[in-house]
Structure 1
Amino acid sequence: MSDYDVLRVFCGPKGGYGNELGVIREGSVLPDRADRQELAAELGFSETVFVDDPERGVIDIYTPTLRLPFAGHPCVGTAWLLDVPELVTPAGVVGARLDGEFSWIEARAEWAPPRTLRQYATAAEVDALRVPPPGEWIYAWAWEDEAAGRVRARAFPGRGDGIDEDEATGAAAILLTDRLGRALNITQGAGSQLLTAPQPGGWVEVGGEAAGAAVTRRGGTPRPGP
């Protein structure tokens, strides 16, 4: 098994926080889906990406328990790592660009896995939420400053796979942006930051800061924090 990269995606304004992502750059060493699923469960990230063609940006995305046709934070992080103009996912071709410290992707809301977008009256209510029991995938959100498009959010996958709360979720941010029809500045989890903007033709752009890769060998020491 080759080394893998550990990224933090959607970091906060001072480079902290962000959602961890595992990326296996040489996906060809593990072509079988069952083997990929097993490794994704072993690594324990909210998502793990297998790169099948680094030049064309062909990728395959897994949570610890299932394969996803598209996911936001894996695409943002992998686009930053590979520095490619697009990614090819089972859901469709995702546009990608780098803008200073920020990595951006452009995708469609219908590509996102189903999520329940649950609005609360205040950001304090979102902060006070406890992790719900396994069941539906809930994206809890509230306006911090509606006029400025600032949102407070938390995400509860509800899959019972050890990821009780997702620190930053690009797909849910895309769904919320599509529903509200406006650009958003989202603070999610402990302090991650996601920026979004609706685009012509039903596309939505989501971006954030990705922090440098740490590399760990499978079977070696435990994976490091970024």
Structure 2
Amino acid sequence: MAIDVTVLRVFTDSCGNFGNPLGVVDAATVPAGERQRVATELGYSETIFIDLPDPGSTTAHAHIFTPATELPFAGHPTVGAAWWLRERGTPINTLQVPAGIVQISHDDALTIVRARAEWSPEFALHELDSVDELLAIEPGDYPDDVEHYLWTWIDRDSGHIRSRMFANDLGVTEDEATGSAATRITEYLSRDLTITQGKGSQLYTTWSAEGWVLVAGRVVDDGVRELD
């Protein structure tokens, strides 16, 4: 039986360009033991399998897979799932993932998740001197055994940075937009940020001294893909 996969782009710019592709699947259509195979075959940096909320419920459960492994938390899948559930008429206030309970909110075109930075992988953070240097890097220049987040200031006063992320160990050569890395860099710099990542994706973060980070972005629906 074919599996319907909704394909979203998460963290687009204000015109709906760029963004990180995400596969969204109703968990009831794929047995737990088959989910890694499906995520690997789809090939997106993440695919999220959602247990749809019961009528009247404002919470849902989900599991997130890269092409290589399951993650306890990731930013662009949780933002995408929250947006998708709202669009289909089942909005939620919380999303339970293995790492913990992600709180959900919306502000005009932005979908916002609230998470703890420690839920994310330990990225190797590399500050570079310029955008030109950042864009000249090849993913193969960095070892495959950890996730690498490269960044530089565009405008320090306004908190705007440019970034890239490599995660070969997760089966992702380069990630177009990474919400979990956004939580880590926001905690590291201890300030709100506007992040332009990859080819031009946009993420917005809000830092809290209590250890929480809000990650916000726009989402576009690219339709349904069928997978055997």
Q: TM-score, normalised by structure 1?
A: 0.91
Residues of 2 paired with 1:79 and 1:22: CA distance? Answer: 13
Contact kept in structure 2, 1:8 and 1:20, CA below 8 Å? yes
For each residue in 1:55-82, what CA deviation from the matched residue of structure 2 results, as whole angstroms up to 9, or x when unmatched?
A: 4220000001100010000001101111
Partners of 1:135 and 1:201 lie apart in 2 by: 31
- Partner Cα separation in structure 2 for residue 196 and residue 187 of structure 1: 11
Match of 2:109 in 1: 101
Q: Is 2:35 aligned against 1:36?
A: yes
TM-superposed deviation, 1:213: 4.3
Q: Any gaps of 5 or more consecutive residues in structure 2? A: 87-91
Correspondence 1:92-131 to 2 at 5 A? 92-131=100-139
Which residue of structure 2 aligns with residue 70 of structure 1? 73
Contact 2:68/2:170 (<8 A) preserved:
no
Aligned-partner SS, 2:176: coil
Q: 1:193 aligns with which of 197, 202, 215?
A: 202
Residues 1-226 of structure 1 mapped to structure 2, 5 A cutoff: 1-25=2-26, 27-32=27-32, 34-55=33-54, 56-83=59-86, 84-132=92-140, 133-159=143-169, 161=171, 163-219=172-228
Q: CA deviation at 1:200?
A: 4.8
Alpha-carbon distance between aligned partners in 1 of 2:187 and 2:174, rounded to the nearest angstrom? 23
Instruction: State the one-letter code of the partner of 1:182.
Output: R
Residue pair 2:66, 2:170 contacting (<8 A) in 1 also: no
Alpha-carbon distance in 2 for matches of 1:21, 1:15: 15
Structure with bigger strand share is 2
Q: Work out the percentage of aligned pairs sharing the same amino acid.
A: 42
Structure 1 unpaired stretches of 5+ = 220-226
Write the distance in 2 (CA, Å) between the matches of 1:66 and 1:186. Answer: 26
Does the Cα contact within 8 Å between 2:69 and 2:170 map onto a contact in 1? no
CA displacement at 1:135 relative to structure 2: 2.7
In structure 1, C-alpha distance between the alignment counterparts of 2:164 and 2:221, rounded to whole Å: 24
CA contact (8 A) 1:138 1:158 kept: no
Any conservation in 2 of the 1:95–1:107 contact (CA below 8 Å)? yes
Following the alignment from structure 2 to structure 1, what is the Cα–Cα distance between the partners of residues 161 and 48?
A: 28
Kept in 1, the 8 Å contact 2:176–2:201? The answer is yes
C-alpha distance in 1 between matches for 2:100 and 2:170: 28
Runs of 4+ aligned structure 1 residues displaced above 3 Å come to none
TM-score computed with the length of structure 2 as normaliser: 0.91
Output the CA distance in 1 between the equivalents of 2:109 and 2:25: 23
How many correspondences in the alignment? 216
Paired residues of 1:134 and 1:160 also in contact (CA < 8 A): no
2-structure distance, mates of 1:118, 1:214: 36
Contact 1:22–1:45 under 8 Å retained in 2: yes
- Seen in structure 2, the aligned counterparts of structure 1 residues 213 and 85 have a Cα distance that, compared at 3 Å, is farther
